[in-house]
Structure 1
Amino acid sequence: MATHKNPIIQMVAISFFMDSPCFKEGARNKINKTGEFYIVLCCGIGPLPKYIYAVSKKRNKMTKAFSMLHPLVKDALEKKGFYSQTLPQERGIPAIVKGRNVVIIARTGSGKTESALLPIFSKILSLKEPKKGIKAIYVAPLRALNRDLLNRLKWWGEELGIDVQVRHGDTTQYERRKQALSPPDILITTPETVQAMLTGRVMRENLKTVRTVVVDEVHELAPDKRGTQLSVGLERIVRLSGEFQRIGLSATVGAPSEIAGFLCGSRPCTIIDATAKTMFDIRVEYPVPEPGDEELANTLSTTPQTAARVRRIKELVDKNESVLAFVNTREMAEALSSRFNLLTEDVDVHHSSLAKTVRIDTEKRFKDQELKCIICTSSMELGIDVGTVSLVIQYMSPRQVSRLIQRVGRSGHRYDETPTGVIIALEGDDILESAVIARRARAHELEAPLVYEEPFDVLAHQLLGLSMDMGDVSRDEAYALVTRAYPYRSLTRERFDAVLELLASLRLIWLEESSYHKSKFALTYYFENLSVIPDVKKYRVVELGSNRSIGVLDEEFVVDRANIGMTFVIKGRAWNVIDVDEGVVFVEEVANIAAAPAWEGELIPVPYDIAQEVTTLRTSISEKGSTIEGREALCSEYALEGAAFDEA
């Protein structure tokens, strides 16, 4: 094959040629890989005539991180058109390829998931004699993230011949049995399902081949009992498989070393900060009622102040292509979206108490640009793929800096774009709190995550789990295993023994001098307490006639208020209760305005440091706010627009 140095020679029908059988079957491997111009002789295979084409296409060279991957992974990247890496991939892939434990800190949409998975694909493909069993576990805190990730990995699995499957609470018994008999290479799952797998004889065998565990959104799990449970669960997997590589994927956090400790315990862990010190465009607004807001208030059955806030949100939505409007509670999401449904059809609602099919439909319509705005809770805060977001609105104070950064970080995903957010504050105290959080977010002053330390209920549960893993358990071995988990690193032997004695007094274990083993009641207790999320009985909301599931309500709301004939809001629409039977509330949609239900577990705490700075800001406004210079300085520092400063 002759090369041509003259850049004037242009490609003739190159796209037609590259799709032809001759290119795919013959010429592809003969192309000059130096990036020079070249001539390819087409042999007349397929629809092309026998001509010589001059081609001026330069072959893109893989960047350094991608060049470290398995050849089949590089070929797949080329098919996808990926030649250059993002910052998390540039910094994360080399460390993972070298086998290091890592925590990769990066914003949503920056490619940090691929920074973990591409090297895992390479490791699996490089196995000379792969044994039957799971090679990698990917743990995500939400089933929605599991679902989203599986959809993203389907192409890669098919292209590379790697079996990727998901396993969580919605997985059928038939699918679980299939996975036990024929385990996938990569298993996507939740913390609770890890606990369930550890008790199964066949699944324990499948876990013996685990070489990598990825914990996604690790910053969300560390301060929670679910994270404590997972931390011990990982040590239980180590007992089966030996040490494995640990990879944590995290949003921006205040103390990365705490997250690294949580993930790896005393093992070495490399912290990879790939945030590139993102600048945030955040401002705090206080919409003031204008002429026309009183009429709008009548339409929405609300106050002029609330109508002014709704109007301002609508203005922002109209000016942008795609908007996520975050609220702090499901109740507020329903109340706000029910008002918007009276004004426009291109706004919908998303939260964890809506049916899965409803949430998936909302995500798809937003991604397909059929919706301009989703009013959402933390259900959209994590990495669910909904496409491009041009603006994030936060309704009321987000309460925590880390939440605001996580939420605003969902906008402006391209590295040349600035994440943009607007906080719509309600009144004086809310303005001050929002302003302090906005200042801290722009200055990257985040709260340090507090790892949940030594919860005894989780410890009791894990000790029972060990008795199902091992049968007769050495007390010394159990203590050594538990204290390797970061949340229990300071657990004294006295406290450990006290928990064992409590379990014995409840007849859940039989306690010997140097060992213990399970009683016949242990299995029931273990599975009844598999989840550390508070157990609240739920009633399904089902539309009469279509039998369509809409969402769930807490038992307390149903018992206290859901009488036949009453009206409430869910999915941003009003529904009339027709009947309540066997855990199901049957409803019909009505054209009405109604109150939103309340759900358990809605409050977000405010960190002490933020509360202290609110006091400082209040004093500064009192002392300096009367002068033009003082007012401008405070507005600039705290991202306050004029009306918000006046109201504060």
Structure 2
Amino acid sequence: MLQTTTPRSTPTALIDDYFHRIGWTPFRFQRSVWSAYRQGCSGLVHSATGTGKTLAVWMGPLQTWLKANPDQSRWNPKRPPPLRVLWVTPLRALAGDTEASLRAPLEALGMPWRLESRTGDSKASAKARQLKRLPTALVTTPESLSLMLTHEKLLPQLAALEGVIVDEWHELLGTKRGIQTELALARLRMLNPNLRTWGVSATLGNLPEAEESLMGVDPSVEVRRIEGYRKKRLKLESAIPKKMERFPWSGHIGIKMVPQVAELLDQVKSALVFANTRSQTERWYQHLLKQRPDWAGKIALHHGSLDTKVRRWVEDGLRDGKLRAVVCTSSLDLGVDFTAVDLVLQIGSPKGAARLLQRAGRSGHQPDAVSRLVFVPTNAIELIELAAAQQAIRSGHLEARPLLNKPLDVLAQHAVTIAVGGGFTRNKLLQEVRSTRAYQSLTAQEWEWVLKFIVQGGDALHAYPEFHRVEVVDGLYRVSLRRTISMHRMNIGTIVSDASMQVKYLKGKTLGTAEEHFLSKLNPGDRFLFAGKLVSLSRIKDNVAYVRKATGQPDSVPRWMGGRLPLSSELSAAMREKLGEAAAGKLVGREMKALRGLFAIQRRWSVLPGPQQLLIERIKTRGIHHLFVFPFEGRLVHEGLSALWAYRISRTIKTTFTMACNDYGFVLHSPHKIELDLPLARRLLNTEQLIPDILSSMNATEMAKRQFRQIARVAGLIHPGYPGQRKSTSHVQASSNLFFDVFCQYDPDNLLLEQARREVLELQLESTRLSTALDRLENCELMITDPPKPTPLAFPLLVDKLRDRVSSETLADRVRRMQDQLEKAADG
């Protein structure tokens, strides 16, 4: 029962009382945020994971309303206030948990607000109701926010918005979803110039850019950047393998560590076990169950391809403390408040200090608690990565998020969105778009091209009516065709992946989705691991893969695209520093000391490079000449460097190369001896003609064609189809390839082609980082050695080459035999 206001019941007193009831005391930074919000300011809150950022930004709107509505006798839950706050979350899987966190103080304070979610998982009935009247506070995603902008009847309600809160802004920053969010925020600010915009972020290295991207280039309200607790109490440790092999290879340690991981899980009440890929989570879940069958029902699996109901069951089990462990991907990386979790395990390197810190914060998710993370290496050399990450975290050198610059595919989609949602005039929308950081340098010519593209399909497609999506009437750009409106709404978004199919029992529930390219290769009866279960394919019909439970051993595990993370530039630099310390005989920490034997062999047979040295090893095995190069710059840079070196060498020496890369270096294999001396090595590192040489060294046209598929999908050139009638991957691929070829021939100046080529250089080849790496390497001391055998650093690259060869031996057996030979040579 609500009570009337007393002198004690001021908004600040009510909030303080709520904190007291949950056993907390407001931090100074939280009070600063509340005060700034009440004053009408916008801002960015930057604080470590688990330090109360959610309450910092949420209590501002609550305090403001409480101050304006002090008489509780007039509060009526049956007549909640109109829309006041939008809460934008980067993952729809987080919406339910976020809604629960926001609802707790509303209920405790007895406020008559209506709080709801609107995401792709929301029920159609709820969405239909919201189109008539939005709730007081709405939790949504960038895609659903853009979708709301297509409904003209919602614009008056959106114009009355008081504040927008963007959660986990660091996860959206530097992505096309982040650009989509910037454009949507610009539209909301056009509707209400006094709109408060608040961002929540942790583990971010470029705060000024993050702030400008969120607020726009010339905000109309005062902007505050409020720092919370940047360093939370953290305990990082490693699970050191009981036997440290001196010739490691990628991934081989992982499963051997299962018993040690099980021992760690036995010591705690609840834990998260993070893996970097969905395939890896499926394997680890099965191996843990095999190790401890009594844990059936007590451990679970969580990744983005599982059915929504399955994910929610797992999340509820974690929240209630009923699950001992959950093996998961980044699906549980963000914004999740599972106070029962007291340990995080990271399987394999997270490839970045910020990501490691983010995941560590999933445990001890309270301001005063200690976050504990145990790192489980899948490769002995990954222990150096952890030592480097610890050093980077201590020094505060977290990764910056590189920003995207005016992607026209996202702008074209947004322009159609606004045209559907009531229309726009040319100059007003241009002014609005230029208020974003991403498009502040958009030229008039680029804007005219976008308009021509959405109105008539550009120069190459003007003869085809289906590409005349927007019409211009008296200077107003609008969409009137219902089919165009429906198709656009169904395909809003920038997340592009291979076509997927539902995986469903013949008689029973849906398990989730797997990518079509994997399922299409299976035959009926083939067994595979999915959703933590062994199933066999029965048949594929109407874009659904029907399965039944199976026994025995799996024939395969689904593979999803996009799982390979490159080593960040910051972690690469820290790793080179740790190697330099080892080269000087200084081994600090358990991780580095555990690698003492590996370092000793590397020094004896070759060199352990310092941070200002580039190691090049020339080795011959079985008639093949190998050139191993170790820049320690990350896999993507090494892919570019290996192709560049092979191309430049082949211009002076007639030979052929095969290549392999990892995060530490690359290798060129050739049947001919490469007479590499210091002058040639210096020429190979020259930055002159870098971009032309990169493009000549790779099949740049084919790479651009693959990148164009994503751009064509976002820009609205191709559509994956209607629900239940999704087009196959091959169909979509053929359509995008056709557009690419037509544009190349008839519209070579098409700006989407230019964007595809630019994204290949920046996103796939990391050309800017590659150029920076070459500048560094040009000034390094070159260490060219001729080891008698493959060294510990070279061995993983040699194994990667073996993966491509057909042999009657399994890869593991072959590698084990090679290891035995090298171990004998090392001890001899």
TM-score normalized by structure 1? Answer: 0.80
Q: Aligned partners of 1:315, 1:336: CA distance in 2, in Å? A: 15
2:11·2:63 contact (CA, 8 Å) conserved in 1?
yes
Q: Aligned partners of 1:356, 1:192: CA distance in 2, in Å? A: 18
Aligned AA (1:165): E
Aligned to 2:420: 468
1:105 correspondence with 2:46: yes
Q: Aligned partners of 2:320, 2:116: CA distance in 1, in Å? A: 26
Relative to structure 1, the CA distance from residue 317 to residue 442 in structure 2 (aligned partners, 3 Å threshold; closer, same or farther) is farther
The Cα RMSD (Å) is 3.0
**Structure 1 residue runs without a partner (length 5+):** 1-20, 34-66, 291-302
Aligned AA (2:231): K
SS of the residue corresponding to residue 640 of structure 1 reads helix
Q: Aligned partners of 1:220, 1:68: CA distance in 2, in Å? A: 36
1:385 deviates by: 2.6
1:555 correspondence with 2:497: no
Aligned to 2:237: 283
1:589 deviates by: 2.6
Aligned to 2:329: 377
Q: Which stretch shifts more, 214-223 or 89-98?
A: 89-98
1:176 correspondence with 2:127: yes
Q: Aligned partners of 1:97, 1:181: CA distance in 2, in Å? A: 29
1:305 deviates by: 4.0
Relative to structure 1, the CA distance from residue 366 to residue 83 in structure 2 (aligned partners, 3 Å threshold; closer, same or farther) is closer
Q: Aligned partners of 2:573, 2:592: CA distance in 1, in Å? A: 22
Q: Aligned partners of 1:287, 1:122: CA distance in 2, in Å? A: 53
1:316 correspondence with 2:264: yes
Q: How does 1:180-191 map to 2 (within 5 A)?
A: 180-191=131-142
Aligned to 2:189: 238
SS of the residue corresponding to residue 308 of structure 1 reads helix
SS of the residue corresponding to residue 270 of structure 1 reads strand
Aligned AA (1:85): P
1:242 deviates by: 3.1
Q: How does 1:253-268 map to 2 (within 5 A)?
A: 253-266=204-217, 267=219, 268=222
Q: Aligned partners of 2:382, 2:22: CA distance in 1, in Å? A: 47
Q: Aligned partners of 2:545, 2:59: CA distance in 1, in Å? A: 46
Aligned to 2:443: 492
Aligned AA (2:568): P
1:108·1:382 contact (CA, 8 Å) conserved in 2?
no
Q: How does 1:336-351 map to 2 (within 5 A)?
A: 336-344=284-292, 345=295, 346-351=298-303
Aligned AA (1:139): V
1:250 correspondence with 2:198: no
Aligned to 1:117: 58
Q: Residues 38-64 of structure 1, C-alpha deviation per residue, up to 9 Å, x if partnerless?
A: xxxxxxxxxxxxxxxxxxxxxxxxxxx
Q: Residues 535-575 of structure 1, C-alpha deviation per residue, up to 9 Å, x if partnerless?
A: 43222222344x122221111111012x2111111222211
1:410 correspondence with 2:362: yes
2:384·2:592 contact (CA, 8 Å) conserved in 1?
no
1:495 deviates by: 2.0
Q: Residues 462-501 of structure 1, C-alpha deviation per residue, up to 9 Å, x if partnerless?
A: 1222223343x33221211001112112222222222223
Q: Which stretch shifts more, 439-448 or 421-430?
A: 421-430
Select the residue among 214, 217, 223 that pairs with 1:269.
Answer: 223
Aligned to 1:610: 571
Aligned AA (2:432): L
1:69·1:118 contact (CA, 8 Å) conserved in 2?
no
1:411·1:419 contact (CA, 8 Å) conserved in 2?
yes
Aligned to 2:696: none
Q: Aligned partners of 2:285, 2:22: CA distance in 1, in Å? A: 39
Aligned to 1:48: none
Aligned AA (1:549): T
Q: Aligned partners of 2:367, 2:139: CA distance in 1, in Å? A: 28
Q: Aligned partners of 1:410, 1:568: CA distance in 2, in Å? A: 30
1:285·1:644 contact (CA, 8 Å) conserved in 2?
no
Task: Report % sequence identity.
Answer: 26
Aligned to 1:328: 276
1:286·1:644 contact (CA, 8 Å) conserved in 2?
no
Q: How does 1:139-218 map to 2 (within 5 A)?
A: 139-158=88-107, 159-218=110-169
Aligned to 1:532: 494
1:338·1:593 contact (CA, 8 Å) conserved in 2?
no
1:210·1:241 contact (CA, 8 Å) conserved in 2?
yes
1:181 deviates by: 2.3
Aligned to 1:356: 308
**Structure 2 residue runs without a partner (length 5+):** 245-250, 458-467, 600-828
SS of the residue corresponding to residue 532 of structure 1 reads coil
1:258 deviates by: 1.6
Q: How does 1:448-597 map to 2 (within 5 A)?
A: 448-471=400-423, 473-506=424-457, 507-510=468-471, 516-518=477-479, 520=481, 523-524=485-486, 526-545=488-507, 547-561=508-522, 563-594=523-554, 595-597=556-558
Select the residue among 595, 598, 623 that pairs with 2:559.
Answer: 598
Q: Aligned partners of 2:145, 2:3: CA distance in 1, in Å? A: 45
1:126 deviates by: 4.0
Aligned AA (2:56): S
Relative to structure 1, the CA distance from residue 590 to residue 173 in structure 2 (aligned partners, 3 Å threshold; closer, same or farther) is closer
Q: Which stretch shifts more, 507-516 or 162-171?
A: 507-516
2:253·2:377 contact (CA, 8 Å) conserved in 1?
no
Aligned to 2:769: none
SS of the residue corresponding to residue 385 of structure 1 reads coil
Aligned AA (2:58): L
